[in-house]
Structure 1
Amino acid sequence: MSCEPRFYRTFSSSERWETYRVRVESTDLYIRTQGNHAFWVQKKVCELRKVLTQHIQRQPRFLESLTPVPGVRGMHPMLTAMHRASELAGTGPMAAVAGAIAQWVGSGLQRWSREVIVENGGDIYLCLQEAGTMSLYAGGSRLSGAIGLTVEPAQTPVAVCTSSGTVGHSYSLGRADAATIVSQDACLADAVATGAANLVGSEQDLEKALAYALNIPGVLGAVLILGDNLAVQGDVQLVRT
């Protein structure tokens, strides 16, 4: 899997935080923290990737399956979280991998930084002291970049994960331009975003996909975009950008 340029990223730093990038093979992280902790992040990502690789050698279906696979005793906590998320979402466990790495890196960074943003291929883990707004990217939709999602400090740490059938290299069974899920569990947000995007083949599927997402325990809100159609439900604060 190759790394793709993340054209929505900006690397300007400020008094609030430093902004930097960490790449390890196909893992490509965009990070904002107080201070630059790239060396620690690189070591952590290498550790997590090794855990994942070793488990896949033990259980190849963990990598290949598009549906939940049986749990294995003695799994690393990150893998256990991915497994649980896949069971709740009805997806394969690798549907949660980007969110998992974002959360495990982001939670570790909270030891040194009061504010943390870790983005991994459109899946974001946040811990904020002041409100922040992120634009929603939805490919060729006219809504892409025109609306944003505001996150309040009291909601964090939280994950905002997006899947798409029209943008990026991730495999999707649907046609959604964006399926964005909010949850305090990044593994769950990532897996449910995949599941919701898979369900959207036409405008008529948006309500069904929303119902699927919001009926899963731990999902706080969902935003679905298909062309010029927008469907929103749950604890989500949208703004014009």
Structure 2
Amino acid sequence: MNYTERSYRQQHRQEDLVHFQLGINETDLDIGIRKERFSPELVKWVEETIRACRKPLEDYIQKDEDFVRSLTPYTVSQDAPPIVQTMAEAGRLAGVGPMAAVAGAVAEWVGKAIARRSRDVIVENGGDIFMRTSRIRKVGVFAGDSPLSNQIAIEVRPSQTPLGICTSSGKVGHSLSFGKADAVVVLSPSVPLADAVATATGNYIQTTDDLEKALEFASRINGVTGILLIKDDRLAAWGSIKLLPVNAGTLVKD
């Protein structure tokens, strides 16, 4: 089952922000910024920023095609662009290939650039979120057919941000997963790391009996601050992660 725009992206959109979408090749971003910062000129600048983020990655891939194919930690050249090195390091820590961190790496690169112009910013890229916020926010969790889907939200406080909130699923979306989790959500100050760890953790989960060992695996990785696992009607959580019920019309909490 693939996500739909309404059932997926609505879970992180905030009523006090302006959200807009930009797609360039495989990159498809939903971006939220403060209303007073929004302008057509800013949208054009963000589009240029995305292209500037992608170009060194695309250039490197042309020279090193194994970087894309590897499903295990991969050593890149010493002169590789920073975004490539960041992806490789995240994959190494999580025990997966570097492309498991690509969506998180792009979200973080673009999010940090926008954060220089907007105090509040959310960049979502295929379920992987960069967030910086000046107020308490709630981010809903979509978990496919699980009865817990759209019932749980993660509270994010300003002191936790900038923060990566990354989701992997064996049932929802297009990303490669060898598991059958309904949702694996990982929090980390490093969005690429959260992305890679979410993928790696999801690979552990075939049944609800696997939740404990998956949680143990992810919690041992340095840099991970919070974990939420959902499989069928069960969940497991660890770390600095506050779960709240989702209430209609309360996407933002002051």
TM-score, length of structure 2 as denominator length: 0.90
Alignment of 1:11-30 (within 5 A): 16-30=16-30
- Note the alpha carbon deviations across 1:31-71, whole angstroms, 9 max, x for none: 11122332122111112222111111111111011101112
Question: What is aligned with 2:130?
Answer: 125
Of 31, 46, 50, the match for 1:41: 46
Residue 77 (structure 1) aligned to one of 72, 76, 82: 82
2:245, 2:3 → 1: CA distance?
Answer: 27
Q: 1:57 to 1:104 in 2, by over 3 A?
A: same
Give the aligned partner of residue 56 of structure 1: 61
Select 1:111's aligned residue among 116, 125, 134: 116
Count of equivalent residues: 238
- Code of the residue aligned with 1:26 in structure 2: it is E
8 A Cα contact 1:21 1:38, kept in partner: no
Report if the CA contact (8 A) 1:32-1:117 is conserved: yes
What's 2:5 paired with?
6
Matched, 1:99 2:116: no
Q: Tell me, what secondary structure is at the counterpart of 1:222?
A: strand
Residues 159-207 of structure 1 show CA distances to partners (whole Å, capped at 9, x for unaligned) of 1000000000111100001010000000000000000001101111111
For the 8 Å contact 2:194–2:224, the answer to whether it is kept is yes
1:214 matched to which residue of 2? 219
The answer as to whether partners of 2:67 and 2:76 remain within 8 angstroms in 1 is: no
CA distance in 2, matches of 1:179, 1:4: 15
Aligned-partner SS, 1:130: coil
Whether 2:168 is the aligned partner of 1:168: answer no
> What value does the CA root-mean-square deviation take over the aligned residues?
1.7
Which structure 1 segments of 5+ residues have no match? none
| Matched position secondary structure for 1:42 | helix
What's the secondary structure of 2:9's corresponding residue?
Answer: coil
1:6 CA displacement = 2.3
How far, CA to CA, are the matches of 1:93 and 1:6 in structure 2?
27
> After superposition, what is the alpha-carbon deviation per residue over 1:110-165, rounded to whole angstroms, capped at 9, x for unaligned?
11100010000100000000000011000000000000000000000001000000
Q: Distance in 2 between matches of 1:92 and 1:40?
A: 31
Residues 1:90 and 1:12: Cα distance change in structure 2 (over 3 Å): closer
Higher RCO, 1 vs 2 (CA within 8 Å, ≥6 residues apart): 2
Q: Distance in 2 between matches of 1:229 and 1:4?
A: 21
Q: Report how far residue 4 of structure 1 moved.
A: 7.2
Cross-structure match for 2:250: none
Partner of 2:32: 32
User: Residue 199 of structure 1: which of 173, 198, 204 is its match?
Assistant: 204
SS in 2 for 1:78: helix
